[in-house]
Amino acid sequence: MTSESAFKSLTQSMREVYTLAEVCSILHWDQETMMPKNGVMTRAAQLSELVGVLHEKRTNPKLKEWLSHLDDTTLSVAEKAMVREIQRDVDKAHKVPGTLLQEIAKEASLGHQVWSQARKEKDFALFAPALERMVNLKKEYAKCLGFKESPYEVLLDDFEPGSSLADVSAMLEGLRAPLIELLGKIKGKELRMASLVGEYPEEEQLALAKNVSTQLGYDFSSGRLDLAVHPFTSGGTPGDIRITTRVNPKDFQDCLYSTIHEVGHALYEQGIDKGLTFTPLGHAVSLGVHESQSRLWENQVSRGPFFSQWIYQQCKDFFGLGDMGYDGFYRAINEVGGSVIRTESDEVTYNLHVLLRFELEKALFEERLALQDVEEAWNSKTKELLGFVPPSVDMGVLQDVHWSGGHFGYFPTYTLGNIYSAELFAAADEQIDDLSGKLSRGEGGELLAWLRENVHQHGRIYTAPELMTRVCGHQPTSEPLVRYLQAKFSAIYGLESA
């Protein structure tokens, strides 16, 4: 068998895998947006059947055989990247026994129920045994795949492939001191913000969301906007990437900024080179880079001092906004410190929330923290990082769904997204002529073209660190994010410049 024919067989086989994986995405989207409530039992059976077919295809012994016939020296950059991704897929499928994956899936489903109940009853002890079982299962999972120093390396790699735990730790920990200091200064100022609370009809909020999505370049002939309890962007192919949002009738910010966040994700997916569809490269490179796109459009652009002028005008047209001038609006959408919940927190505290979870779950897996001490550790670390103790456990250690599903290693990708978005925005700002002026006039087209050229189109050809280094000219660090947050919030809160 020649290397060429082995490569062809490999990619054809993986094409089947990726085609069926997209079917799972559509079924998930349907479940969250369209499916009638009594469809839930049979939908679970459909998804589980598809997962079975996918596992069978991924463990097809021929894949290993074909991989062994490849001659690396004859492959192009893109072909090498494909092989890297296939090897990764095949390795994971072979090294982790199907029975362990089933156990994890079962525990996740059970754990979700237990967590909901524990949160409702505000009792961490109810959830602790399920959490312990899940941590043990994921330790076993990490063992199957192998690691150098910490089992957490493996967990992180599921969401942020190609990045080392050391580099990610350095980036995240680089935020610790400067953000605690910045938050302290902000708290020293008791600034009164204008309130955006009011009555905003659903149809108007959705019409605004559609306007803004179109303005940002989201292509509705390759997507659609629907309602969902927890907004998300469907996976899919560039021709079919769907976004969802939610509506709070008292505050239009929720719908507006959730939509922009999802538009950021969708612009990335819609921009991946269509030639890569149904190949291992036709996907976002990592959750961190994915999140960088949603956060860049949500924060740097739409909560920034330029594009928010266009947004303000739109909101004024739709909702009036009373006698709140643009300055009041800008400050209101950037208020710091209103929430004890990660998902509702501002740009400054958000990353401290993530740091808290990252440090705790890393310690858990490195056996520097015992299960019975988690609640206490959560509370004291919240005090240390954010300056308060959670008012109750449902707003503390039980606030997030991730651990119940075994998604350890997911949290750091949120902050990586913020770090990357600051890096990318700084690079774009340098390379695009008068970006601020363009954004002030509501023109995001050149920025989108820049991201398409530098990030979106490549899919998974480069790993996340390779991609970021190519675009920014240096290995990414937390410094641009720190500088960005210091400058922005010093201006808003009238702090002495850092």
The DSSP element (H or E) to which 30 belongs, if any, is: helix 3-33
Give least dist CB 35 to its own copies, A.
6
Collapsed DSSP state (helix, strand, coil) of residue 476: coil
Residues at the interface with its own copies (CB under 8 A):
16, 19-20, 22-23, 26-27, 30, 34-43, 45-46, 49-50, 52-53, 219-224, 236-240, 242, 277-278
Nearer to its own copies, 25 or 164 (CB): 25
Residue 43 C-beta: closest distance to its own copies, Å: 7
Residue placing its CB nearer to its own copies in the complex, 241 or 364: 241
Alpha helices in 235-304 (DSSP H): 252-270, 287-295
Question: What are 244's strand-pairing partners?
Answer: 226
Q: Shortest approach of its own copies to residue 452 CB, angstroms?
A: 16
Instruction: Name the minimum Å distance from CB 26 to its own copies.
Output: 6
- Report in angstroms how near the CB of residue 29 gets to its own copies at its nearest: 9
18 contacts 280 by C-beta, under 8 angstroms: yes
384 tagged catalytic:
no
Q: Which of 22, 160, 262, 335 is catalytic?
A: 262
CA 335 from chain centre, in angstroms, equals 22
Nearer to its own copies, 234 or 286 (CB): 234
CA-derived radius of gyration, the chain: 23
Pick 26 or 395: Cβ nearer its own copies: 26
Paired strand residues for 240: 237
Q: How far apart are CA 444 and CA 462, in angstroms?
A: 26
Q: Which residue's structure tokens are 């702090």?
A: 495
SS3 label, residue 237:
strand
Q: Is 233 in a helix, a strand, or coil?
A: strand
The CA distance from 84 to 459, in Å, is: 14
Structural element, H or E, at residue 422: helix 411-431
Q: Which is nearer to its own copies, 41 or 229 (CB)?
A: 41
Contact yes or no for 399/360 (Cβ under 8 A): no
Active-site residue list = 262
